[in-house]
Structure 1
Amino acid sequence: MATGEASTGNIQRGSTLPNGDIYVGNFAGLVPHGFGKYMWTDGTLYYGEWDTSKMTGRGEIQWPSGASYDGDLCGGFIDGTGTFKGVDGSLYKGSWRMNKKHGMGTMVYANSDTYEGFWNEGLPDGFGKYTWADGNTYIGRWKSGKMNGRGVMKWTNGDTLDCNWLNGLAHGKGFCKYSSGACYIGTWDRGLKDGHGMFYQPGSKMPCNLEVSECVTDHDVSSASSSGNENVNSGLLFLLQKLCNTWRIRSLFHRPRRISNGTAPVFDDNSGNRLSEDSSTVPLTTGECLQDNVADKVLVYEREYVQGVLISEKPKGHDSGMPDSSKSHDQTLQKQAGGPMETIYRGHRSYYLMLNLQLGIRYTVGKITPVPLREVRSNDFGPRARIRMYFPSEGSQYTPPHCSVNFFWKDYCPMVFRNLREMFHIDAADYMMSLCGDDSLKELSSPGKSGSIFYLSQDERFVIKTLRKAELKILLKMLPKYYNHVRAYDNTLITKFFGVHRITLKGGRKVRFVVMGNMFCTELRIHRKYDLKGSTQGRSTKKQNINENTTLKDLDLSYVFHVDKPWRDALIRQISLDCMFLESQSIIDYSMLLGIHFRAPSHLKTSSSHQNSLESGISDTDLLQYEEKSSWKGFLLVAHEPGTTVGGSHIRGSMVRASEAGYEEVDLVLPGTGRFRVQLGVNMPARALKVREDMNTELENPDNIEEYDVVLYLGIIDILQEYNVSKRVEHAVKSLKFDPLSISAVDPSSYAKRFVKFLESVFPEQY
């Protein structure tokens, strides 16, 4: 802003500045100061307070476009509390910071939509309520202008959905309540039901306490109270304190379609008021349960969805594992939708163990990272290759004070595992943040067959497993050969180890851990998991024990998988090489962990090719040309474009090449999901064909489809069991009763041959 003419501080009326602007008001020396009126040459007008040439205090701005602002300013910026009227008729009343909506405020859009809640840098961010012009509402958390986190969507017909949200779409655990009294508890994936869930028909006995999760935190309320907008947002503060505690769920989720109004997201149903026969609602009051009034009718069903398509529905009796009505909402979701995991909280049996583990890893990685990277040496594997440290709670010269119990820490072969992490492009800072950040680890509630306990990092990149002393010895013994094998074969399918540690607690109790890569760390939902050994004795799962989280076995597998010939050849070759290594180390009892993501049957999908091309970033012309020559139905394979794909977790090495793409490296495009880098055992598209009837694992649907488009994830796990004396005895004893070739405990050579032969049958060669 240009300065005014020389003045003695008296009001100067009609003062024209050298740049053509006009100022009428008080001056302090040569600059506007106090109260005044300023008009720019473009017609913009400000009427209010000044502080040494800066608009500061209360004032009103009017723009030539017709927009206006009335409220606080500071240092020449809109800053504080004020009201903005847009040229399109929109109205915002609330907090500002540096010309952007920031803090608490209410926005009425030009199309009569309304948002009340927190803002950050001009976008809804935090807790808020959005009301569409047609009466639909969303109450919950936002991030960068989109529904993100826990929230509740309510439609004018009474349907509501309590769910986690991601980028404006339902994503994660949730439950919906219909006006008929029906209820569905399950999971959503990017706006579509996906995976297993429970459906309760009207009149059935369903879980009580289906209430909206506590959306408001003390931080939200304190932030609102201290924002300085008590007068402007008193109604919103009341909303923050009371609204989430009074809503009750009665919902059906409709996938929203984005409609641009220029500022905030607005949504509309893709298919009108109702998506399915479930689309009707009735409210539930606190603690209310609908009782089963018809004892002789099946009113509860186990359902399975694949990307919004219902592929399986089975009646569920009251005596066959139906959630008890006394269970809380969180317990029900944990059992039905979230997997057998629980976040480790203060007071949890593993809480202090987790803190000790995080402290030790942070110390070790921080100590080894500054050391210049070098090739490992023979003494990096020996008994001297250890880091030992005592961690007293009050701290020491080398360790920080902490709120856990005193413990001794031992880290094995730190330089070796540092190099292994480097091989798989794992940044030290990311590694520590994943395992030792502010978030807690998650514990698998059911231990493995060996009694080992599994923990998962919050970002699910890493798995931590407790080891028996014998397993630790085997791992350290085989570590030099393991290191050389992993370095020689980029695409090895063997478990990736990233650290081995031991914690010694008071009283001498020792707990040993190994940190591994999670092969199922993917944006795609894993619908089936199989643990395949190639043996048949005891390799099936009881039907009553099967749920969404069950890892099935060899005899449960009712599919074979057709993959592109180059991929099949590379896969069998790598499996053979990995088995040769394990055989050389006298290892048995390993298995192939296979994860399957099913794509919804193509003819049941409603998305058009045009919509698919928009979501995948492929032009319509390229899409049509590819579809004409492609035999893949549920996904697309396109030439690899570096930097555009979502890579697998902890993978490296060359990409597999597709014969359909002229033997080029390819990316997997899943419309509506993303673009994925295809590598051996990671993001591998295939066709699953049913080869036998098995009601335990059959994917049922009304059309009896026998072929599915799938994405596969696979790796060799459990490689720490030697063929020792006890296994020889087990083999001898079981051979008296069963076929010696059908049992798991056989010599390493026989085990490897049987393992490879079985997987060759699972991935048959196409002619």
Structure 2
Amino acid sequence: MSLKRGEGRSVSLTLRRSSALSASTSGFSRHQKKFPNGDTYTGGWRNGLPEGEGRYCWADGSTYEGGWKNGSKHGLGTYTWPNGACYKGEWQNGCMHGVGSFKSPDGTCYEGGWAHDLKQGLGKKVYANGDIYEGLWKAGKCEGPGRYRWKNRNEYDGEWKAGRMHGKGTLKWNTGDRYDGEFKNGQEDGIGIFTWADGSTYNGFWREGSKEGVGVYRPAPTDNKRATTPLERHTTQPAAAELAKASAEAEEEVEAERNVPSPRGGHTSDASADDVEEAPGRAAGRGDRAERVFVREYEAGRLMREDPISPEELEAVFGPFRRRADRAERRQRRRRRVANKLGETIYKGHRSYDLMLNLQLGIRHSSQQVAKEPPLKQLSDIHFQQKLKQFFPRDGSKATPPHPSMDFWWKDYCPMAFRQLREVFNIEAAEYMKSICGDQALRELPSPGKSGSVFFVSHDDKYMIKTMRKGEVKLLLELLPKYVAHVEKYPHTLLVKFFGLYRVIPENGSKVRFIVMNNVFQNALPISKQYDLKGSTQGRTSANDAPRPTMILKDLDLDIKIKLEEGWHDRLMDQLAADCALLEELRVMDYSLLLGVHYRSTGWMSSPPATDKEDEGDEDGDTPHAMGAGAILAQRSARQTTEGPESPQLQASPLRAAGSAALGSMALDADAEVEHFKRMQAAKEAELAAVRARIEAALGAGVSGKRLADLMSLAQFQMLSRDARAFRSPTVVLSMRPQRSVTMRPVAFSAGATDDISHSMGQQRTQLGMNVVGTALPADADSNATPEDVVLYFGIIDILQEYNMSKRLEHGYKSMFNDGRTISAVNPKTYSRRFQEFLENVFV
């Protein structure tokens, strides 16, 4: 029996009636309860209701273990249904709400966002038949940008609405054909580019799954067959709308998801992905047209006429657009080159070159050794005491390769425990080695603190490598078991993520110890300001210089308060409490929150864009039609699965061989929702007039009215497609400012909010501390500064400072001259409380 939507409320009522069973109905305590209906509860109890951590077992076999608040499931918890289905993740007021994973008995699994028991926000779903969807969800259906991959390697990557392809996207087959363009209600509708596997392309308009109006056809250079019949290239690939029927979402899974409604009723079907037909648009032959271009006109998919385009006409229509695209691409390349990465690349002859080689050789060796070990169900005490040692002679050995560095000894601390941590953090061994030990060198950073440690960063900015003192290594090894348990329990932990602990002893050299950890600002937008926040005030200010993006500001420099997106403030405060409780238990202090702030008003790039004038004169580039990738259509499968699965619908009617709709009528279709119709009505008349003047100048006054109309239609099409090819890139998403509530808090799941940005940045799920959207308000209520949209990156760093005798003496000495409550060196309990109180005033 699956848990009903209102069952969480009925549990609370039952517990209220049964509160007399407890001798103490006020204050917190731990109890074991057995109810008349056979249910049992063990865990925290307050005022006659479950509170804190507890386990509830229903008589039908369902169980829940995790957090409770006022008698409802709240916080982190795991719910298991009698049929074996399981949800593990965040809860709010008795509902699956936040980030969590769901696994069905048939093998279907989903990991991502939830809201009120429905999939919401960024998530990934793997279907029982092998299909995969990664992207945004809304009310349990695919909505927004997302990628659907069929098990036969067909794929759609684009925008969705109510479970259907809708908006801009790319649909491609395992044959190599593809369609790039616009969709409406699961069908090709709008501007589209169809590219065949041999390189032939058709750029034009589509309406309800069929070609419509005037477009440009470019045969492949090797094309040597003629195909001009109305059925040309329409016999071997599926219609876009039909491909949806090749996958499905199991009904029993939906039922297990606490009666979450599945996207059905014309939106899905239960066909398998095995029998996908081939897309309409594939030619039996193409004609002897190498290096030639043609104007084609279609009505409802039927080819009405075809005329060649001369080189002069091509240049008049497409030349300016091509040159503009080339200039934009050169600007992007120049910006990428100019983008400075922090740190100094370690080259041969650099003071740290040998050390880098030793580190890379050792990590590669250790990773290969632990990869041979079988998976562990649970770490034991022995795993926290293991050490892997290896000698690396310069000339190599049976176990090690030859290398250009000096001989050295290598030690890997707790290799299996750190392998487990990397798995918890979804770090693959191959990706770990490639980032640190690949062909590209590490970069050495200037030391940002007083410790004197040396910092390195991987070429892709994913990993930070820090040299450590012996005392820090000892402390880390002592706290490692509790640290591992903590990060396994709290997937949104803000604590710095440790991936490996190593030591190098060069021949005739000193011991050098390293810790590999995450870079808080990995894959981040350009950071406008960064802060190191401890909650203390004594000496917590930077130099008087004007702030620079690379300058680390401190507590007294903070001049803003931040309102996080709806739902994220409570998540942050709860996680801070859990993380600080662990650090307090471990007697650790002097840690800080590293906060990076990206102001969305600055855009993606901080450098000013180059002007068109700067780029004039460089005419290299693609041919005029190269305004986007090629395109492909999709189709219907004939085979049905026995389970009756469903998936997001890509339903469309087959291509029709008859019917008519003029290009002009498409532009004036008031009901059309695809963006190009609206843009066509507002086309830039001045730009079109300039194109017309160029055509008349190139072809002379004798050009026919029909020919001029064709060429002007192509120019108009090119103007529209210029905007259409930008599809939900980080730059585009960043420009979508999220809605704000009346309290100035960004609205959850709105366009440009946390889930949207996280998806555009390549994340598989949202993560506290990465791409979190907020509103920055002036800290001074009397300030005239206006609220600004920001994207935040943050994490707790420097967690290896124990409150030892040295820190006690520091506290005593500094307290003689300053208020003891304002200095950093205080006992862990005081430090934890002050740290949380300070951040509560920052994140309001």
Q: How does the TM-score come out when normalised to structure 2?
A: 0.46
Structure showing the higher helix proportion among its residues:
2
Give the direction of change, closer, same or farther, for the CA distance of 1:40–1:444 in structure 2 (3 Å limit).
closer
2:505–2:511 CA contact under 8 A, matched in 1: yes
**Helix, strand or coil for the counterpart of 2:525?**
coil
Superposed displacement of residue 525, structure 1: 1.2
The answer to whether the aligner puts 1:707 opposite 2:787 as a matched pair is yes
Match of residue 230 from structure 1: none
Alignment gaps of 5+ in structure 1: 1-38, 45-61, 70-85, 92-107, 115-130, 139-145, 148-152, 154-160, 175-186, 188-337, 646-657, 659-665, 699-703
Q: Secondary structure at the residue paired with 1:466?
A: strand
Change (3 A) 1:724 1:132: same
Q: Distance in 2 between matches of 1:637 and 1:744?
A: 36
Residue in 1 aligned with 2:508?
A: 507
Shift of the alpha carbon at 1:679?
2.8
The 5-angstrom pairing of residues 665-684 of structure 1 reads 667-669=755-757, 677-684=765-772
Paired residue type of 2:418: F
Aligned to 1:450: 451
- Are 2:765 and 1:763 aligned? no
User: What's the CA shift for 1:111?
Assistant: 5.5
Distance (whole Å) between structure 1 residues aligned to residue 743 and residue 726 of structure 2? 18
CA displacement at 1:548 relative to structure 2: 2.1
How many angstroms apart in 2 are the aligned matches of 1:677 and 1:382?
30
Distance 1:552 1:527, change over 3 A: same
Q: Judging changes above 3 Å, is the alpha-carbon distance between structure 1 residues 111 and 401 closer, same or farther for their aligned structure 2 residues?
A: farther
Higher RCO (C-alpha 8 Å, min separation 6): 2
Residue in structure 1 matched with residue 711 of structure 2 by the alignment: none
> In structure 1, what is the equivalent of residue 83 of structure 2?
none
Alignment match, 2:336: 172
Aligned to 2:366: 364
Partner of 1:561: helix, strand, or coil? Answer: strand
What are the superposed Cα offsets for residues 456-515 of structure 1, whole Å, 9 maximum, x if unpaired? Answer: 111111111110111111111110111111111111110000000000012241110000
2:710 match: none
User: Which structure: greater strand fraction?
Assistant: 1
Structure 1 distance, partners of 2:451, 2:493, is 25
Q: How high is the sequence identity, in percent, across the aligned residues?
A: 42
8 Å Cα contact 1:532/1:591 also seen in 2: yes
Aligned equivalents of 2:317, 2:723: Cα separation in 1 = 31
1:421 counterpart residue number? 422
Distance 1:517 1:486 in 2: 14
Question: Using the alignment, how far apart are the partners of 1:485 and 1:470 within structure 2?
Answer: 22
Offset from partner CA, 1:517-573 (integer Å, 9 cap, x none):
112112411111110000000000112274221111000000000124521111111
Offset at 1:379?
Answer: 3.5
Listed as ranges, the gaps of 5+ residues in structure 2 are: 1-222, 229-285, 294-306, 604-608, 610-674, 680-721
Which amino acid is 1:731 matched to? Answer: H
Shift of 1:171: 3.3
Answer whether contact 1:685 1:712 (CA < 8 A) is retained.
yes
Q: CA deviation at 1:754?
A: 0.3
Q: Does 1:730 align with 2:810?
A: yes
Task: After TM superposition, give the deviation of residue 137 of structure 1 in Å.
Answer: 7.7
Indicate conservation of the 8 Å contact 2:532/2:593, yes or no: yes
SS in 2 for 1:418: helix
Q: Residues 89, 710 of structure 1: CA spacing in aligned structure 2 closer, same or farther, 3 A cutoff?
A: same
Q: Determine the structure 1 residue equivalent to 2:822.
A: 742
1:638 to 735, 746, 749: 749
Structure 2 CA distance for partners of 1:566 and 1:628, relative to 1, 3 Å: closer
Q: Do structure 1's residue 687 and structure 2's residue 775 form an aligned pair?
A: yes
CA distance in 2, matches of 1:133, 1:628: 36
Q: How does 1:188-587 map to 2 (within 5 A)?
A: 338=340, 340-383=342-385, 385-446=386-447, 448-544=449-545, 546-587=547-588
* Residue type of the alignment partner of 1:437: G
| Residue aligned with 2:395, SS | coil
For 1:413 and 1:64, the matched residues in 2 are separated by 67
User: 2:774 is matched by which residue type in structure 1?
Assistant: A
Structure 2 residue identity aligned to 1:503? V
Which residue number in structure 2 is paired with residue 721 of structure 1? 801
Q: What's the RMSD between the two structures over aligned residues?
A: 4.4
- Measured in 1, the distance between the counterparts of 2:798 and 2:325 equals 51
Shift of 1:612: 9.9
Q: Which amino acid aligns with 2:377?
A: E
Equivalent pair of 1:615/1:671 in contact (CA under 8 Å): no
Counterpart position of 1:96: none
CA distance in 1, matches of 2:439, 2:365: 16
1:171 partner letter: R
Structure 1 residues 469, 357: closer, same or farther in 2, change over 3 A? same
Deviations 1:661-717 (A, max 9, x none): xxxxx72349998898533222111110011399xxx9xxxxx64211011111110
SS at match of 1:544: coil
Cα distance, 1:563–1:135 mapped onto 2, change above 3 Å: closer
CA distance in 2, matches of 1:415, 1:503: 19
1:71-150 map, 5 Å: 88-89=309-310, 110=315, 147=329
1:447/1:453 contact within 8 Å kept: no
Distance 2:824 2:740 in 1: 44
Letter in 2 for 1:533: K
* Alpha carbons 2:444, 2:455 under 8 Å: kept: yes
Any conservation in 1 of the 2:224–2:287 contact (CA below 8 Å)? Answer: no
Contact 1:668 1:678 in 2 (8 A): no
Does structure 2 conserve the Cα–Cα contact (< 8 Å) formed by 1:601 and 1:634?
no
CA contact (8 A) 1:532 1:553 kept: yes
Residue aligning to 1:200: none
* Aligned counterparts of 1:173 and 1:500: Cα–Cα separation in 2: 34
Mapping for residues 572-611 of structure 1, pairs under 5 Å: 572-600=573-601
Deviation sequence 1:711-741 (CA, Å, 0-9, x none) = 1111110000000000000000000000000
Q: Distance in 2 between matches of 1:341 and 1:137?
A: 32
TM-score by length of 1: 0.51
Residue pair 2:536, 2:822 contacting (<8 A) in 1 also: yes
